[in-house]
Amino acid sequence: MRILQRLWPDMTFEWPGALALVFVIALALVAYVFFQLQRSNYADRFSSPAMRPNVVLAGQGWRRHVPVLMYLLAALTLVVGLARPQTYERVPRDHAKVILALDASRSLRGDDVEPSRIHVAKTTAVRFIESLPTRWEVGLVTFSAKAKLVREPTIDRIGVTRAIRNIELGVGTAIGDAIAEALPSRRETVPLTVVLLTDGNDNVGLVDPIAAARRARKLNIRVYTIGLGVPGLGSIGDEAEPANFDLLKRIARTTEAKFFVAEDRESLAEVYRELRTTIVYAKAPREITAAFAGGAFVFLALGGFLSALWFNRIP
């Protein structure tokens, strides 16, 4: 089955129990090999080496096994098809929600991203939400010492962008609270994605960030994290600190999402472009039973053709 996994890495089976029939095919192969060995022993027992060419027709050695191999491959392919294999394809989502959680702490005054972390965060965030499909709802959470849902998810892009531009910085960074504040926006019928943009300096808050990430995972919500700044570099301002991304990596990994680094305006814009492609498309199951049924037919036809061509018969 490793070959199938290489061809279709995301393959699953609706009826995986049917794959147990592979052992029946394996037994048939063993029986065929055993029969061929016995046949060879029988020819040796009742004929001399000089008479053997008269008992076994010349030129049929390896050929007589090929049709049988084709039939066994056909049976194996049919068994895989019987298990109802399906893979996944990317399809555009008709409707979804995105909560943009923006760090509003004073550490975003840092100038390791020119002209400042917060300026780049605001301008590129606006471009990102404007690039999303128009039917998608976008909400905004800002956080410093406390997290606040500034805008409920809405298709009103103007209101969200205005709220982003009017963000004022405060003291402290409560990353866990920001994630927890975004989760209630989830509805059963509409998938929700959280995009967390911060320099990673979590220092206050009521909710542990990893605990919040685990809760998001239980709700099937991915939290994509974007680290803003350059780790280890100093920056202006008394409250500004070097970026710290270890926590952001753990949050993304916990929710089965991705972590991105944005060291400047251009790289953050590139992150948003990649992120848009990632969340706009969803994985939809696609059954590929017909492909295996067609493959089995090809193996059967090929085996019959070779048998008729070489031996003037179809077993």
pLDDT in tens, the chain (315 residues): 555 556 556 677 888 888 888 888 888 888 878 877 776 555 555 555 555 555 554 445 677 778 888 888 888 888 888 888 888 777 777 788 899 999 998 888 877 777 888 888 888 888 888 888 888 899 999 999 999 999 999 998 999 999 999 999 998 899 999 999 999 987 777 889 999 999 888 889 899 999 999 999 999 999 999 888 776 655 444 455 667 789 999 999 999 999 988 777 777 778 888 887 778 776 767 777 888 888 888 888 888 787 777 776 655
Q: Tokens 């409707």 label which residue? A: 95
pTM recorded for the entire structure: 0.64
Cα–Cα distance measured from residue 28 to residue 38, given in angstroms and rounded to the nearest whole number:
15
Q: Tokens 């409560």 label which residue? A: 174
Nearest to 195 by CA among 305, 265, 121: 121
Supply φ then ψ for residue 67, to 5 degrees. Answer: -60, -40
Is residue 266 a contact partner of residue 118, using CB atoms and an 8 Å limit? Answer: no
Strands, DSSP E only, in 5-96? 12-13, 85-92
Cα–Cα distance measured from residue 147 to residue 95, given in angstroms and rounded to the nearest whole number:
26
Q: Tokens 């027709």 label which residue? A: 57
Count of CB atoms situated within 10 Å of the CB of 220: 11
Q: How far is CA 301 from the centre of its chain?
A: 37
CATH for 91-285, among 3.30.300.30, 3.40.50.410, 2.30.42.10, 3.40.50.1970? 3.40.50.410
CA 38, 42, 47: angle at the middle one, nearest 5?
155
Characterize 101-136 residue by residue with b for buried, 16 or more Cβ atoms within 10 angstroms of its Cβ, and e for exposed: bbbbbbbbbbbbbeebbbebbbebbbebbeebeeeb
Cα–Cα distance measured from residue 176 to residue 145, given in angstroms and rounded to the nearest whole number:
11
Domain edges within the chain = 16-85+288-311, 91-285
